[in-house]
Structure 1
Amino acid sequence: MRMPFRDVAAVAAAVLAPFLAALALLPLRTSVTPVNLALLLVVVVVAVSALGNRWAGALAALSAVAWFDFFHTEPYQSFDIRDRADVETAVLLLLVGLAVSQLAARARVMRSAAGTDAEHLERLHRTIRLMRSGGRTTPELIDRVRLELVDVLELRECRFTVAVEPAGSPPPRLQADGSVRVEGWIWDLDRQGWPDGEIELQAVAAGRVLGRFLMTPVPGAVPVPVEARLVAVDLAGLVAVVLDGAERLPQAGDPEHGTSRLGVDV
């Protein structure tokens, strides 16, 4: 498996950035205390951690200690440390660098998660606004949700059918809690990945199945987090609400106009 470019860049920065920073600080070696020089190197560790991940941050901390020792402790241009104070400074640099790298990496993950949550919320708001505007027909709304499902679940393709009973054995089903059930037992998505073939997502309103999205994941793709799967369930539920309302409107209208049944295949 190829390492993502961002991780490759972070590892390269973890190795090179502390070296370049320690080299740039050489003119200050005689006028700035080793402790202050170590603090400046911690800033580099934080920057690398914010760019990459916690492992890149840890590597940057080790690199910072090594080059601090090489350039800024006696004997210079050597990885030997003889002064006890320099040893303590190097150890503190390592501990602080490791701790700060973990905090910076965690903050980056939390920012990413917050951005993803906001994106999911916008998907739901966008679909609800489309429903309320009345500017789209039911087939157009279903197609819009189908495309949203392809995006949020990172699918290869997705189709919709109003047939609520599948022919033959039931396909794997994405449940309301974000899990996948395969013929009566829970599928371990984290360990096994997506099941082969199509996976159904039922559009349910008022306890009734009004249609099904049949989704085909990308072969070998890692399943998206459960938060994304729950958004998919909510999107299917919005379609079910529209279909349920479309069925009820003719029944509540003038009997002279008769009744009709909506059926849409996308």
Structure 2
Amino acid sequence: MRTPLRDTGALGAALLAPPAVAAVLVPFRTDLTNATMALILVVVVVVVVAVAAIGNRAAGAVAAVSSAAWFDFFLTTPYQRFTINDGDDVETAVLLLVVGLVVSQLAARARRLEVITVTDAGYLARVHETAQLVQASGSPDKIVDHVRRQLIDLLELRDCRFEYGSLLGHPARLEQDGSVVVARGRWDVERRGWPDGEIELRALAGGHYRGRFLLQPGPAVPPLQARLVAVTLADQTGAALDTAAPRLEQ
């Protein structure tokens, strides 16, 4: 997976902001209490955590560690050394680290939950769009082609084709629960990636086979939610083909 630009920016801010603020406080270190200086650095952590909320957990953790380290280096005796002699300074540094870590991870988790919500809304939109097409269109071929394109985008496939008629061969199969089966054995797709070759996704209606999509996977393995949506789209295709079958046989 590539690192998004915002993640890189968050890591940069996490590395650079705490030492910059600590350096600014150097002229005042004899006048301010360690607790006050640590509080200022906590504010820096919170700012960086705000960046981490649109970045990732690593950015928040780096911000917390960086703040504690530079607090020690610039603002506690002996200065310009990563050493702390005073017990109160040790306590302050540890609290600064713990608070920064906890808050940063909470912010990163909040961002992750937001991404899941947006992603789920996107999945729902795909299912709704296909359902509308099934109701409005009398052309099974149009529905098949629409779902085929949806599957390519949803599962990040290299390609996808649809086969009508009887089952031939024994390719790997994407099951109703989102798992993958190879030669009657379950394949750990999260750990091992997609199996080699095409993967079958059957279009069923009331337990009756109406055709299958043959997926050509890309390098990325989509999450379980995406695979379950793919199964739902295939079922919608099966229902459309089942409805159209009497007309096509006349």
TM-score when scaled to structure 1?
A: 0.83
Q: Are 1:261 and 2:232 matched, yes or no?
A: no
Q: Which residue of 2 aligns with 1:233?
A: 231
Q: Does 1:245 align with 2:248?
A: no
Change (3 A) 1:179 1:171: same
Given that residues 202 and 211 in structure 2 are in contact (C-alpha distance below 8 angstroms), is that contact kept between their aligned partners in structure 1? yes
CA distance in 1, matches of 2:84, 2:192: 50
How far residue 245 of structure 1 moved from its aligned partner, in angstroms, is 0.8
* Alpha-carbon distance in 2 for matches of 1:233, 1:175: 7
Residue of structure 2 in register with 1:67 after alignment: 70
Give the 3-state SS of the residue equivalent to 2:249 in structure 1.
Answer: coil
- Cα displacement (A) at 1:24: 4.3
What is the CA-CA distance between 1:158 and the residue it aligns to? 0.4
Q: State the shift of 1:76 in Å.
A: 4.0
**Structure 1 residues 66-96: Cα deviation after superposition (integer angstroms, max 9, x where no partner):** 1122233344444333443322211100111
Q: Could you tell me which residue of structure 2 aligns to residue 158 of structure 1?
A: 160
The Cα shift of 1:115 comes to 1.2
Q: Which runs of 5+ in 2 are unaligned?
A: none
Closer/same/farther in 2, CA of residues 230 and 28 from structure 1, 3 Å limit: farther
TM-score under structure 2 length normalisation: 0.88
Q: Specify whether residues 28 and 104 from structure 1 end up closer, same or farther in structure 2 by C-alpha distance, changes over 3 A only.
A: farther
Alpha carbon RMSD of aligned pairs, Å?
2.4
Counterpart AA for 1:157: D
Deviation at 1:157, TM superposition (A): 0.3
- Tell me the SS of whatever aligns to 1:22: helix
Please give the per-residue CA displacement for 1:114-155, whole angstroms capped at 9, x wherever unaligned: 111111011101111222233x63211211110000011110
Kept in 1, the 8 Å contact 2:61–2:104? The answer is yes
Aligned to 1:145: 147
Equivalence map 1:121-200=2 (5 Å): 121-134=124-137, 137-166=139-168, 169-200=169-200
Identity %: 51
- What count of residue pairs does the alignment treat as equivalent? 247
Q: Which amino acid aligns with 2:15?
A: V
Q: Helix, strand or coil: the match of 1:17?
A: helix
Query: Which ranges in structure 1 are unaligned for 5 or more consecutive residues?
Result: 251-259
> What one-letter code is carried by the residue in structure 2 that aligns with 1:116?
T
- Which SS does the other structure have where 2:53 is aligned? helix
Q: How does 1:17-28 map to 2 (within 5 A)?
A: 17-25=17-25
More off after superposition, 120-129 vs 102-111: 102-111
What's the secondary structure of 2:96's corresponding residue? helix
1:146-173 alpha-carbon deviations (Å, 9 max, x no partner): 000001111000011212311xx31111
CA contact (8 A) 2:21 2:41 kept: no
Q: Which residue of 2 aligns with 1:209?
A: 209
